[in-house]
Amino acid sequence: MMPQVVIVGGGMVGLSLSLMLAKANIRVKLLEAIQYPDLSESELHHYHSSFDARNSALSRRSVEIYNKLGLWARLQEYATPIRQVHITEEGGFGKARLLAEQENVENFGQVIENAWLGRVLLSEVKKNNLIELIDGIEVTALTQNEKQVTVQAKRKQENIQIQSQLVVAADGRDSFCRQALGVDASVHDYEQVAIVTTVQTSKPHHHVGFERFSALGPLALLPLPGENRRSVVWPVKKGTEEQWLGSENDQKFLDALQHTYGGRAGKFEKTGKRFCYPLSQVLSHKQAIGRVVLMGNAAHTIHPVAGQGFNLCLRDADVLVRFLSNHLKTSEDIGDQELLKAYEQARLIDQQRVIKFCDTVVRGFSHQNPVLKFVRNTGLIAFDIIPGIKPIVATYAMGLKA
């Protein structure tokens, strides 16, 4: 029996999309190049905080999506709400604050450790009868005609051919599928590398998230489970990252955080292992190509400055599943090309708004010219005091105007 949807790429976007499709009673074949680790259900019931975990800030819309899937009750144990957001610039006079209570919401979103989010998603996929998971498989070719898409793949010494009416390519920034389809992408290198880790501070975080712009780069500090644990995402100039990596540089990294952030968190006492990855903006020129849809970083890779990338991908997935579900009520062709083009068009406004916002913030705060710095700080004050601006920004940040 032909699977209704094949997903190439089993990262968090691919895992989430497969569960959304299964919830809509659509069969899925999920292909992932990496061999997943064995995962026993018992591992999900013993939470141990890790100083090596990467993290995601889930908007309220993203939380709603996982709640619809019946997963939020399990995920919530590993999540921490953001109830305030503070925006400042090192050496500047301006500041802006968003308070959840003033916006009449319980929180702006939740920060969750990716290791635990991934474990819950993977365990749900493995036990779902509508999802066939094939890991350790490499896609080697992708072709299509008017009626179907053919995926050629290799698993160990076995050559595999899979056919489907619809393929969703969620295989990352350097998507093989996008290249196999001959789709170009616009690439902008920010000349930055993101340093990612978890730290412990002497003062509790009180559910406050900070965006602190500095000469080194925009520092994001977000609350994590445990009153004194915080997630760090710190984009720095490419070529300078080695001085912040390695256990021998732990104290140097903590001292740099202390200098940039000040004493609001008390003392930065402990840091986990630092990960790093280069930052660029990669925007596919097309997202619906015949019977193939590009999703996740394959469609749009954006700067993490506002923590919007994964949330945008989840909204894409949610809308795609809605389009497919409605279409299947009157047609058996789930890969109808006009349907997929309509989906692509429906997502453009939300995508373009988020992409432009993130890019503008990065470029706007990257210059240390005193005049520009004065303008930026004046803008932060205006944002903080002019009525009517904060609710608009908060609504978009929560993903509720998609």
Q: Which residue's structure tokens are 């240390």?
A: 368
> To the nearest whole number, what is the mean pLDDT of the chain?
86
Amino acid at 179: Q
Q: What percent of the chain has pLDDT over 90?
A: 59
Segment 221-244 mean pLDDT:
91
Cβ count within 10 A of residue 245: 16
pLDDT band at 284; cut points 50, 70, 90? very high
Contact (CB, 8 A) for 140 and 119: no
Q: Band the pLDDT of 108: cuts 50, 70, 90.
A: confident
Q: Mean per-residue pLDDT for 270-289?
A: 94
In the chain the domains, ranked by start, together with CATH numbers, are 1-402 (3.50.50.60)
Residue 44 clears pLDDT 90, i.e. is over it: no
* Residue 128 falls in which region: left (phi positive, over 0), alpha (psi -120 to 50) or beta: beta
Mean pLDDT for 327-341 is: 94
Q: Identify whether the C-beta of residue 397 lies closer than 8 Å to the C-beta of residue 391.
A: no
Share above pLDDT 70 across residues of the chain, in percent, rounded to a whole number:
84
- Rounded average pLDDT over 368-393: 58
Torsion of CA 314, 118, 232, 195, to 10 degrees: -90
State the DSSP string of 80-118.
EEE-EEEEEETT-S-EEEEEGGGGTSS-SEEEEEHHHHH
Q: How far apart are CA 289 and CA 237, in angstroms?
A: 36
- Partners of residue 220 on adjacent β-strands: 211, 233
Question: In Å, how far are 139, 307, 357 from 134, measured between CA atoms?
Answer: 11, 30, 37
Q: Counting Cβ atoms within 10 Å, is residue 39 exposed (0-12), middle (13-18) or buried (19+)?
A: middle
CB 314 within 8 A of CB 360: no
Q: Which 3 state secondary structure label does DSSP give 359?
A: helix
Q: 11, 170 in Cβ contact below 8 A?
A: yes
**SS3 call for 188:** strand
The model's pTM is 0.89
